[in-house]
A and B are shown apart, each in its own frame.
Chain A
Amino acid sequence: MIQFQYERALTAKAALAALGNSSNARFIAGGTNLVDLMKRNVMAPAKLVDISMLPLKDISQQNGKTIIGALALNSQVADHKLILEKHPLLSMALNAGASAQIRNMATVGGNIMQRTRCSYFYDTALPCNKRQPGSGCGALEGANRMHAIFGTSNQCIAVHPSDMCIALVALDAVVVVAGPKGERRIPFGEFHRLPGTQPEKDNTLQINELIISVEIPDNGFDKNTHYYKVRDRASYAFALVSVAAALSMDGRVIREARLAMGGVAHKPWRLTEAEKSLSGKTATEENFRQAAEIAMQGAKAYKHNAFKLKLGPNVIVEALKNAAGIV
C-alpha cells in the first residue's frame, strides 16, 4: 500500500473541509472495501479522512420514516429491533451479505459506496474502463460469468455487489448527503448509475459530498417480504442473482408489490413493470411467473452468464412465493 496522509474528523463539517475538492482524497469508515482495494493498488488515494468517529450511528423512527445513520454498522442495523419490526427485508438482505466480522466493521454508507467485485476491476494488469478510463473492458469478451445482464454498455458490464442496496431500492429509501451547500436528498434508485460511457462513475455522489443517513418511509411491507440470494457457496459469497421481494397483502390479494434484483446490473435493479403487473392479483405461482417474465424483458447475456436469463426469473418466483408464504 502506498503512503497516504491521514486525518481524523469529528464532525461532518470538519470531514468535508478535510476532504476539500480533491478527487484523490477519500473518506474511510469501516474500510472493508477501501483497505482491500488500496492493498491491491486498485485505489491509491493520497489522503484518507477518517469519519468513523462522527456521531452518525443512530437508528431512529421520526415523522413516518426510519432514519439510519450512515455510520451504523451492517450488523447493528440487521439486529436492530426497529428494522426487524418495520423493515425485515433489510435485515434479511444485510445478513445475506459478507461475513459476521465484515458486517461488524462495514457501515451503511460504506456498503452503498462499495465498488464492483469484477475481477478485471481488481486486477491492475488487465484492462478496465472503471479503474482506468479508456483502457478497455476485459470482461466483455472475457470471463463474464458474474456479470450484468441489464443496463450494460460496451464499456462496462460490471455489477454492483451489495445485498443491502437491493432491499433499500425496493423499500424506496432516500440517501441524505451533506455537501458544501447543505443537504441533498437522493432517491435510492437515482443514487447509483448505469455505466454508459463513464463507467468510472459508480454513482451520482459529488466529490465533496458525504452520506449522512438513509431514510426508509413507513410502508406496508413488514410481513410478506423475502430476500432470496443464489451464490456459488452456501454463505459468504457475492450473488449470482438475488431478489428482494416485498408484498402488501389483503388476504390472498396483492395490494402492492416491490421487487428488486442484485447481481444483474451496475446498480440495484428495480423491477417496476413487474411490480405493477402484480397489483390486484392473487398470490399464485402462475402470476409470479408472469411477473418474472415481464421483469426479464430487455435482459442481454454474454458468453458465460446466459444462465442468469433462466436463473433470474426462477429466483424472482421463489422470492415472491417465500414472501407470500406459499412455499
Chain B
Amino acid sequence: MDNYKSNKKPEKEDVHESRRDFLKTSSLLTAIAVTPATISKAAAYNLGEKISAAFETMPVNLTVNGVKKQLAVEPRSTLLDVLREQLDLTGTKKGCDYGQCGACTVHVDGQRVLSCLSLAVMQQGKQVTTIEGIANGDELHPMQKAFIKHDGFQCGYCTPGQIMSGIACINEGHAESKEDIREFMSGNICRCGAYPNIVKAIQEVKNGGQKS
C-alpha cells in the first residue's frame, strides 16, 4: 500500500526552470498520462509490483522548503511518503495515515493540509513547506521556541504537525481566543494530552505579533 522501504527515485535539486519549461513539462505529463502504454504493458506481462513500479512513475516539479525538486513519483504515492521516503524529510510524521490525526500537516502554497491524503502527483508546481523549512538557519521559528518554552509536547510525535498547524492557525486569523485556537487546532491530535500547553504556545506567538 505504501512505500515503507527506502525507495530512492531519481531527483535533481536546484533546478531553475522558467515558466516555459514548466508548461513544456506539463504538456509532456499530459501526453504520458493519456497513453500510459507502459502500464498496460506491465499488466499484460504480469510483472511483479516491484518491477512494474519502475515503469509507472510520473514527473512532478515542486518546490520543497524553497528548493526546486524534479521528481518521479508513482501516482499512488502520497506527498507524505514522497517527503519522507524520497526526499528524506522525516520531520513530517506519519501518524494514522488516514487523515484523522494531523501529524502529517504541511503547508502547500501557504495553506495547511494533510500530506497523507494528498497525492504527490497532484502537487505539480506547488510550494511545499515542512517542519524542516520554518527555522531561519539556526534561529528557530517563534512557534518552535514557544513550544519549547511552554512544554507543548511530551513524546513529540505530533509536534511537527502541531507547529505547522499552529503557524497556519494564526495566519488564518483563527487564534483570537483560547476557544478559537482549540476549535481550529482540533485536527491535530495529541495522545500525550499537551493541549493546554500547545494553546499557550500559540497564544504567545499570536500576541508576539508573529508575521508568517
Contacts and interface: CB of A to CB of B under 8 A. Distances in A.
Interface in A1-56: 1-8, 10, 28, 31-32, 35-36, 38-40, 48, 50, 52
A32 B117 contact: yes
Interface stretch (A95-103, A192-200, A307-315): A95-103
Interface string A252-294: 0000000000000000000000000000000000000000000
A2 B43 CA distance: 12
A234 B58 contact: no
A8 B33 contact: yes
Interface residues of B, number: 45
B112 A1 contact: no
A31 B75 contact: no
Contacts of B111: 75, 104
A101 B113 contact: yes
Given A4-B76, A8-B29, A100-B168, A234 B186 contact: yes
Interface in B129-185: 165, 168-169, 172, 174, 182-185
A39 B99 CA distance: 11
Contacts, number: 105
B119 interface: yes
B203 to A, nearest CB: 17
Contacts of B52: 3
B95 interface: no
A95 B124 CA distance: 28
Given A100-B174, A101-B114, A235-B183, A3 B75 contact: yes
Contacts of B165: 100-101
Contacts of B186: 99-100, 234-236
Q: Name which of A1, A38, A99, A236 has the most chain B CB atoms within 10 A of its CB.
A: A99
B85 to A, nearest CB: 15
Given A6-B33, A104-B111, A236 B187 contact: yes
Nearest to B105: A101
Interface in B69-102: 74-76, 78, 97-99, 102
Interface of A: 1-8, 10, 28, 31-32, 35-36, 38-40, 48, 50, 52, 75, 79, 95, 98-102, 104-105, 234-236
28 contacts: A1-B2, A2-B76, A3-B53, A3-B74, A5-B33, A5-B39, A6-B58, A6-B119, A6-B121, A7-B33, A7-B34, A8-B26, A28-B119, A28-B122, A35-B78, A35-B119, A39-B98, A48-B119, A75-B172, A79-B172, A98-B187, A101-B105, A101-B187, A102-B117, A102-B187, A104-B111, A234-B182, A235-B183
